[in-house]
Amino acid sequence: MSTGSLWGGRFKESVGQQMQEFGASLPVDIRLYEQDIRGSIAHANMLCVQGVISTSDKQLITDGLRDILKDIQAGNDEFLDIKHEDIHMAIEAELTSRIGAAGKRLHTARSRNDQVATDTRLYVREAAESLCLAICSVRSAIISVASNHTDAIFPGYTHLQRAQPILLSHHLLAWQNMLERDYARMLASKASADVLVLGSAALAGTTYDINRFAVAKELDFASVSNNSLDAVSDRDFICDITYACAMVMMHLSRICEELILWSSSEFGFITLSDAFSTGSSIMPQKKNPDFAELTRGKTGRVYGNLIGILTTLKSLPLAYNKDMQEDKEGLFDSIDTVSLCLNAVSGMISTMHINANKMLEAAQGGFMAATDLADYLVKQGLAFRDAHEVVGKIVLFAEKNKLQLHQLSLAQLHQFSDVFGADALEVVKIANVVDARTTYGGTAKDQVLSQLEQAQQRLTQDIKASRTLPR
């Protein structure tokens, strides 16, 4: 009695409909159809060269697989039915129904264990490259805005309290640096997936005389796995890209939180484009930063996907276990989510309007030149702690009299220390405060212009490095 399954020879009865649906991964791994077909064509080509299958069978198999690929791409995919457990069995069954016995020879010298790992690695390589380029798109938008506003003075914050004035470009380049690190992590996840595992079979390799290196060359893998047991059970590369995605979302969430704050009436530093805002169903005046909020909100689901895969792999014995079927849903969701969010953030940044006057007004408030005034006293010979106390008293006086530091006269400064000279009045001017930060990586304009130039150079290099897969 046959169960009708591709693995049914051992079984006397079929799995029930409910359990078949429970065990099927086809609704999830169906998106691996292209990778599965590419891997199968490379496998068939190698089997033919090695004399494992005939040239005529190889031609039937590869032509049949290409026809199936065209049909799926055209939407003629009714054969991808839930009666098949996964995308591999669905394609193999359809191939066999089209070309006959030759189709049954395709699975020689491989297992679904090494097949699905190969498919997923191919997918992750391509997805990581795509995400690298999407990250570069956001970085490009940031660098463009920063380059167009190199004179805009911005209030820098600690504890969300005004701290020291900086250039807006300096702040934006901090975003760029965050995403530059994300790019490096994403590129590393691509390298992590760039290992051929096909030919490891179920866990111990195969008795057939196969050439794994030829398959690696055809599929453009950088290396070949050197332990068949590890190869079929390794999902580190999925953890790597899911972690990279989580880090991207953490940084996008921080950026979006600032966009939300800056676009509020209380700040008014930026105005988001109507194309990246929504209104209220009841309050006609509202313009809500919904897409920034949604990006911030989606961070949790990507974090959850990372915890999910780590938990799935925890305590699994070698080699393959059915638990690993749960490795792809979170992976696909993370990749899809990050891709959408990167596109949204790139659009928000590139189209937002900068309200430079509001930023300057905020930078001139909050006694943000206090540290510079204390540094002035230190340079005149006072100990820093004594200078700190003097300036603290000056701030208290100014606050009581509703004055800012740049509005104080020399006579008023002399009430607290006769060390002050006329040049102290220049020290507290906001533009001078900003331009005094000349240390490497500081906010002085010359430093920021240098940072911009270096950031653009690194971006250009990274875009080039991203595009290494065959086109």
Q: Which of 64, 73, 118 is nearest to 92 (CA)?
A: 64
Which member of 54, 280, 409, 450 is catalytic?
280
Number of alpha carbons in the 13 Å side-chain half-sphere of residue 10: 3
Tell me, yes or no, if 388 is annotated catalytic: no
Q: Look at residue 31 and give its three-state secondary structure.
A: helix
Q: Which of 341, 173, 168, 150 is nearest to 270 (CA)?
A: 168
Q: What is the DSSP string of 269-301?
A: SEE--GGG-B--SS-TT--B-HHHHHHHHHHHH
Which member of 159, 265, 281, 315 is catalytic?
159
- Asked if 71 and 77 count as a contact pair (C-beta separation under 8 A), the reply is yes
Which tokens belong to 54? 């005939």
Tell me, yes or no, if 159 is annotated catalytic: yes
Distance between CA 128 and CA 242 in Å, rounded? 10
Instruction: Give the C-alpha distances (Å, rounded to integers) separating 251 from 98, 148, 174, 297.
Output: 50, 23, 11, 12
Distance between CA 419 and CA 262 in Å, rounded? 39
Distance between CA 388 and CA 376 in Å, rounded? 11
Give the residue numbers marked as catalytic: 159, 280
